[in-house]
Amino acid sequence: MSSTPLLANGRVLRYSFRERLVHWLAGFSYVYLLLTGLAFWSPWLFWIAVVLGGPTVSRELHPWVGLIFVFATFLMYGMWGGQMHETEPDKEFWRALGHYVRNEDELVPSAGRFNAGQKLLFWGFFWCGILLLLSGLVLWFTHLIPWGLRYVRYTAVLVHATCALLTIGLFIIHVYMGTAMERGAIGSVIRGDVSVGWAKRYHRVWYEHLLRDAAARK
Amino acid sequence: MSQATLEIRAISGHAGSVPGAGVRREFEVCKLIDTTTCIGCKACEVACLEWNGLSFSETTFNNSYQTMPETQWNYWNLIKFNEHEREDGTLQLLMRKDQCMHCEEPGCLIACPADGAIVQYVNGIVDFQQEHCIGCGYCVTGCPFNIPKFSPTARKVFKCTLCVDRVTQGLEPACIKACPTGCLHFGTKPEMKALAENRATQLRENSGFENAGVYDPPGVRGTHVIYVLHDASNPELYGGLPKDPHVPWTVSFWKGPLKWIGNIAMIGGLLGVFAHYLRFGPKVESADDETPRPGGAASRPATREPGNRP
């Protein structure tokens, strides 16, 4: 009976409920961190903190929401870390990046469950998340750091801003691709499923693995 | 001395211009501390607490006269004592009144993200406005003199105001008023600079302090609190007065070039993805995609990514 990986609605399950939940835990916490962080980044964006309940509230909540974001990131590491190792097709993907960008998908090697770009996003957020956590703790408890260790503070302000900028770059591309560019992707992380065509077009290796797996279970 | 001393020159975290900047003629105030005539009586410490209505903090004893290791959020004025043994074996008791230096280039103000939490008046006073402070502590990182202190109860940062409330009324700061030896002076920056240089010359020529000099560090474009030191070549002796203070370079870089790089990158990223959408449009899924791929699934068994099931 289960010779097909299809759901009852004829679509393919891409992300489990747990995966979707963790994704949005990270997503919403990141957006809050991004907005309040941008408010502290530039005087021209300080109004964001005013809109979000006042700059003092933003300053008090930012670190706590940061802990939620890092928690979600670690959950993602637990769920997906093992699936994010670079493979030979990933290297081919980067060589074929121009084709991918120009939507010449027939010239792009087939991807497994995650393509090389998603892996870059994952590891970028994972490592930046760790650095943001460490530097963020220093900024959170700045007043507890003795004068003799002031270079820790000097380093933390630079690390926190730089890592935040790197994640913003990843975030812009991630949101653009997930919503506007790759139609069907946003649904996969909301309702969890994708069409067969979508699965074949973007993650054919993964889809065919599902097929073989289902056949083996029959 | 009172007129228009509250005209503002710089505002922290502020978008746009400074209202009224550069309109009036104004002089810069300066506090001069002559460490060579300080007797360490701590009258200035008490006067500071009294005038500013600060509660008396618990003091610590470390086998010296010093009240506590460093200034606190509610203790803005602290004499630092150093029992310095000179090369000839004699003892020199160095005493330096430590407080905010009111830098011409204030690292606290540069680092502060909160609109109006730190202002620099045209007269040189750098003042914290706690009602606008968000308690982030960036000023603590920006200061090269270890002066701004975070209050865990108020969750705001406090420091010496140079008694801005007294100065605007034509009075000298409370510490100056209390000093019994006259080692503290208050006036315009040129007057105090001349007085300090005169005293340093006296010390060099008549008192045998060859290295006597004035501490007005150019790394922060001068300060509105200046010192006369017996040994200006070694300010670190005076309770860790930095020899060549600067706004930390990471703070300058973060608030300067990195901000530009980051803004250009973020705006560029947004414009980039928008332009990409206009030029190439979306990837649209087909009902059943059978496009052959180079090295695709047909020719390569998918053994490299096992178990990637949701």
Each residue's pLDDT tens digit, A45-91:
999 999 999 999 999 999 999 999 999 999 999 999 999 999 988 99
Interchain pair A205, B302: CB under 8 A: yes
Closest to A103 (Cα-Cα) out of A204, A207, A201, A205: A201
Q: Does B59 touch chain A (CB under 8 A)?
A: no
pLDDT number for residue B281: 92
Strands B225-229 and B29-34: parallel
Helix (H), strand (E) at residue B92: strand B91-98
Nearest by CB to residue B293, choosing from A40, A88, A110, is A110
Q: Please give the mean pLDDT across all residues of chain B.
A: 89
Which residue, A21, A66, A86, A82, is CA-closest to A167?
A66
Q: How far is A63 from chain B (nearest CA, A)?
A: 11
pLDDT, position B1: 46
> Which among A16, A41, A153 is the nearest to B310, CB-wise?
A16
Q: Does B136 touch chain A (CB under 8 A)?
A: yes
Domains of chain A listed by start with CATH number: 13-85+114-193 (1.20.950.20)
pLDDT at B113: 97
Mean pLDDT of B212-220: 97
pLDDT at position B141, please? Answer: 97
Segment A126-130 shows an average pLDDT of 98
Alpha-carbon gap: B271 to the closest alpha carbon of chain A (Å): 10
pLDDT at B289 over 60: no
A 10 A CB-CB count for B253 gives: 17
Q: Could you tell me if B294 lies within 8 Å of chain A, comparing CB atoms? A: yes
**CATH class of the structural domain B8-247:** alpha beta
Q: What is the pLDDT of residue B186?
A: 95
Residue B103: DSSP 8-state? B
Q: B85 at the A interface (CB within 8 A)? A: no
- What are the beta bridge partners of residue A94? none
Which pLDDT does position B15 carry in this prediction?
85
Region A130-144: mean pLDDT is 97
Tokens of B139: 């000023």
Q: Report which of residues B284 and B232 the model is more confident about.
A: B232
Q: Cβ–Cβ of A102/B280 closer than 8 Å?
A: yes
Q: Please give the average per-residue pLDDT across B227-240, as a whole number.
A: 96
| Chain A CB within 8 Å of residue B301 CB | no
d(CA A84, CA A77) in angstroms, rounded, equals 9
Q: Give B185 to chain A, closest Cα distance, Å.
A: 29
- Closest approach of chain B CAs to the CA of A16, in angstroms? 6
B287 CB near a chain A CB, below 8 Å?
yes
Domain borders along chain B are: 8-247, 248-281
Q: What pairs with residue B92 in β-bridges? A: B84
Q: Do B282 and A87 touch (CB under 8 A)?
A: no
CB atoms B283 and A182 under 8 Å:
yes
Q: Please check the confidence at residue B83 and state whether its pLDDT lies above 60.
A: yes
**Is any Cβ of chain B less than 8 angstroms from the Cβ of A198?**
yes
Query: Which 8-state DSSP code applies to residue B104?
Result: S
Q: What token pair was written down for B67?
A: 């009240």
> Is pLDDT at B275 greater than 70 in this prediction?
yes
B251 contact A CB<8A: yes
For chain B, percent of residues with pLDDT exceeding 70: 88
pLDDT over 60 (residue B310)? no
* Residues B63 and B82: beta-carbon distance below 8 Å: no
- Mean pLDDT (chain A) is 94
Cβ atoms of A145 and B247 closer than 8 Å: no
Q: Which residues of B touch A180 (CB under 8 A)?
A: 273, 277, 282
| Residues 6+ positions from B145 with CB-CB distance below 8 Å | B100, B101, B103, B242, B245
Confidence band of B285 (pLDDT split at 50, 70, 90): low
pTM of the model: 0.89
Minimum distance, in Å, between the CA of residue B210 and any CA atom of chain A: 31
Strand partners, A12: A6, A194
Cβ atoms within 10 Å of B155's Cβ, excluding its own: 16
Q: Does A161 contact B70 at a Cβ distance shorter than 8 Å?
A: no
* Residue B161 pLDDT: 97
pLDDT tens-digit profile of B97-145? Answer: 999 999 999 999 999 999 999 999 999 999 999 999 999 999 999 999 9
